[in-house]
Amino acid sequence: MTPSPRLPPSDRPSGSCSPKARNSSGSTSGANKKEGAPKIAVTATSCANCGTTTTPLWRRASDGSTICNACGMFLNME
């Protein structure tokens, strides 16, 4: 079975589905977007002890730094 070719945006029927819903003014509806809201930078969390970025649980060391679960368990034993 061969896939059907994709139509360019101008050749699509007016009632076709699109990934983003449009309101009557033609702009995308952004329920989670606020106009003029400050942008917040997202940073990757990493362990201050070993440097890993994946763990099932993030912990805090006694000095307040973020550590992974394995390092937290290890430091609790000392």
Specify the CATH number for the domain of residue 51.
3.30.50.10
**Confidence at residue 76, expressed as pLDDT on a 0 to 100 scale:** 86
Q: In the prediction, which pLDDT does 33 show? A: 62
Given a contact cutoff of 8 angstroms between Cβ atoms, the answer to whether 49 and 67 are in contact is yes
The residues of the chain scoring below 70 in pLDDT are 1-34
pLDDT score for 36: 79
Q: What pLDDT, on a 0 to 100 scale, did the predictor assign at position 58?
A: 95
Structure token digits, residue 71: 């390092």
Residue 54 lies in a domain: yes
Residue at 73 is within a domain = yes
Is residue 51, in this structure, part of any structural domain at all?
yes
**Residue 57, domain member (yes or no):** yes
Q: What is the pLDDT of residue 70?
A: 96
* Overall domain count for the chain: 1
- Can you give the pTM of this predicted structure? 0.46
Which of 55, 50, 78 is closest to 65 using CA atoms?
Answer: 50
